[in-house]
Structure 1
């Protein structure tokens, strides 16, 4: 029996969501274009508003057609048209424009209204030059001969420096500078990680909602055009989860080591993936009374995951730490925690920051809330260990979301992590449903 076609009411509800979503994105892009203090944001908003406007108009046309009972036929009847146009006008075109604009050399001016790239792009490219010259991407902020400032810091792990190496090695002319802009490297890494993950998941049919959250959301599109490192990190994190889901525990540990060695904010994902690696096989087999052969195999997988993760993390950090241990601690640990010589500018008015700003007691309360969230996550992992890739990603979404919202030093841009990963959850579910064996129908004849 063929599956039932979606009812008109269901289609109308989905298309209504599309219209509301794209109109909200359009409003965000338009406001960015008109009032943002950053030049890159204004350029992005100008192009993105056109992309989101098209997507909203196209979805509105589909909605009206559905309610009139005249569903459009052909390619223009697909909801993916909105995603495609947003990808072009809100991601690719503004990135090209900003990369070309950056050749005018206005990066390091104290004038945000002229920046063609956000500071993290400059800082990561500079860190690669420092690594090649001095063996460490971190400068001693106490030996500058002047008062240090925010842009003197490189608040990333040593792996992040890799994205700046093409510029440090091959830059120097307008053409090579344009081709080696670190944003291309971030975008390439994120794209390759997604393609590799989809391939390992047997190319599932991705829901449009998944693409809306992971790609079309303004936080993703804006980050792609003006900065990018967070997208590379979240792409690697999805790849690590995919590897764990298909039983490649060692490779999952290695990729997660790369993630943690680039940005420490995603370190809590290690606990989730460790539990997932341990419980995946027996949970998927429905083994409440698992066989004796499965438990040693699960423990070996966990041991391989943890050993690879720890070894790779130490190997990636230790050489840089030994060259300049004080600088490493100042840049990678103290500064992101708001304890450095210069205070971190990550101060978006999210709950944790607002609570911390009430005084010393408020700061203690915000840290207690972070600790309470961590304990709650551990309890959730123990009581309901993830059995699938989507379940593991969902726990990472909740954990990172709580960390971003409750940490005293935080910023809106970090919300790109839970949003993109939530889109990943939907993609994983689509893959898992495709791999699930069909249920036998009641009353079906048994083959002889």
Structure 2
């Protein structure tokens, strides 16, 4: 009797979830309408209340974009028997958000940046780009001039400022090189703005990932989460480095899922050497390689990863080891000459703010979450791109919520990766290539659904 009761109790939540999923699947436009309404409200609040100029500009455009998408979706709901046509496609809403809520504010802020020339000030109300944009552009110029993208904080003839820091790996400076090399005129500076480079890299990585996995028709819901969601749209217009990083992560996942461990390791090494937040993704990709191709492929993956990391990091490290440690390690950890401004009121930060005991508790919770994800990887290693994207999303969500110095903006990784899970599940039965096991080109024989 006890066993039967337990079984019925376990089935109840499962059946409730199934019923909810079925209801949502029956009326996708209704879910779209709720999504666009929520996004429009968020954008409107940003437009009216945020202290950053770029955020307010984005909010104004995005409110219009999400509002138009909501109007179109409402029309679909009110005319359910209308004749099928491209105008009635749910993709129209996504396209409107892309044009009005992403491209339009980006172009506006690019032009205004050239007119206002308000970089390197403490007045957030004047910024046409977030500080990471000018910091990365400065890092590229510094790299060309000195061989390292990092300023020597100890050698400054003034009190250091938070904007003196470049809390990224050396590869991140690559995104600022176009402006450093060919900038100098208003037009050249606008088209080589780091945001344009970030956006271009992200788009190219996503297109390459879709081609590798033979995803010919991505689901609308996946595109809404990965592209049209406010976290992505806001980052696209005002900053951008996180979009380039998550795009490279998706490319690494796609390469590993199509049995190209060497190329996957190369991308993982480059993206981790650009921003350390990608390191958990490299671990998951390693598990994906091992579960599909075995220990020899994992050894190859590890060798390429370590080799490339050494090649791109050691030369910069040797130029000025103290500057490297100050920027890349000490500053993000809150141990540099200036405290990191990454202090969004997320659980880890709130717990740590109670004192030394709270900091220990936050770190213990973060370690426990990391071990839980690691156990998940060991017991249920990823076999498909969707599996890997899901595990990376969960790991980065735990990191963002529980680390003591973080930003709300890092949640863009989670939304994009969850959207990618839906997209990658919609892939064709076999990726490009028809070689044998271990060749790096044979088909993906794993199931299409994520565990």
- Deviations along 1:262-301, one digit per CA (max 9) or x if unpaired, are 00011011221111101125xxxxxxxxxxxxxxxx2221
Match of 1:33 in 2: 47
Check the 8 A contact 1:157/1:262 in 2, yes or no.
Answer: yes
| In the alignment, structure 1 residue 123 sits paired with structure 2 residue 123 | no
Match of 1:208 in 2: 220
| In the alignment, structure 1 residue 135 sits paired with structure 2 residue 147 | yes
- Deviations along 1:113-172, one digit per CA (max 9) or x if unpaired, are 111000000000000010011111101112212211110100000000001011111111
Match of 2:13 in 1: none
* Structure 2 counterpart SS, 1:431: coil
Alignment partners' CA distance in 1, 2:147 and 2:95: 43
1:114/1:300 Cα in 2 relative to 1: closer, same or farther (>3 Å)?
Answer: same
Match of 1:112 in 2: 124
Shift of 1:177: 0.8
Match of 1:77 in 2: 88
| Residues 246-395 of structure 1: pairs in structure 2 closer than 5 A | 246-281=258-293, 298-395=294-391
Shift of 1:9: 6.2
Q: RMSD across aligned C-alpha pairs, in angstroms?
A: 1.7
Shift of 1:73: 2.3
Match of 1:218 in 2: 230
Match of 2:111 in 1: 100
Check the 8 A contact 1:211/1:423 in 2, yes or no.
Answer: yes
Check the 8 A contact 2:215/2:423 in 1, yes or no.
Answer: no
Select 2:29's aligned residue among 10, 15, 18.
15
Shift of 1:64: 2.1
1:77/1:9 Cα in 2 relative to 1: closer, same or farther (>3 Å)?
Answer: farther
Check the 8 A contact 2:37/2:70 in 1, yes or no.
Answer: yes
Match of 1:229 in 2: 241
TM-score for the superposition, normalised by structure 1: 0.89
Select 2:180's aligned residue among 153, 168, 171.
168
Alignment partners' CA distance in 2, 1:113 and 1:211: 32
1:248/1:237 Cα in 2 relative to 1: closer, same or farther (>3 Å)?
Answer: same
Select 2:63's aligned residue among 45, 49, 63.
49
1:10/1:412 Cα in 2 relative to 1: closer, same or farther (>3 Å)?
Answer: closer
Check the 8 A contact 2:135/2:165 in 1, yes or no.
Answer: yes
Shift of 1:346: 0.5
Shift of 1:243: 0.2
Shift of 1:204: 3.1
Alignment partners' CA distance in 2, 1:11 and 1:383: 31
Alignment partners' CA distance in 2, 1:352 and 1:432: 40
Alignment partners' CA distance in 1, 2:148 and 2:171: 11
Shift of 1:433: 5.9
Match of 1:290 in 2: none
Shift of 1:13: 3.0
Unaligned runs of 5+ in 1: 1-7, 282-297, 440-448
Shift of 1:427: 0.9
* Structure 2 counterpart SS, 1:355: helix
Shift of 1:19: 0.7
Match of 1:418 in 2: 414
Alignment partners' CA distance in 1, 2:25 and 2:289: 38
Alignment partners' CA distance in 2, 1:146 and 1:208: 52
Unaligned runs of 5+ in 2: 1-21, 432-443
TM-score for the superposition, normalised by structure 2: 0.89
Alignment partners' CA distance in 2, 1:322 and 1:268: 26
Alignment partners' CA distance in 2, 1:12 and 1:61: 17
- Deviations along 1:171-214, one digit per CA (max 9) or x if unpaired, are 11111111111111000000000111111112332111100110
- Deviations along 1:74-113, one digit per CA (max 9) or x if unpaired, are 1121100000000001111111110010012111222111
Select 1:239's aligned residue among 251, 266, 273.
251
Check the 8 A contact 1:12/1:63 in 2, yes or no.
Answer: no
1:132/1:214 Cα in 2 relative to 1: closer, same or farther (>3 Å)?
Answer: same
- Deviations along 1:408-440, one digit per CA (max 9) or x if unpaired, are 001100000011011111111111568799x9x
1:31/1:314 Cα in 2 relative to 1: closer, same or farther (>3 Å)?
Answer: same
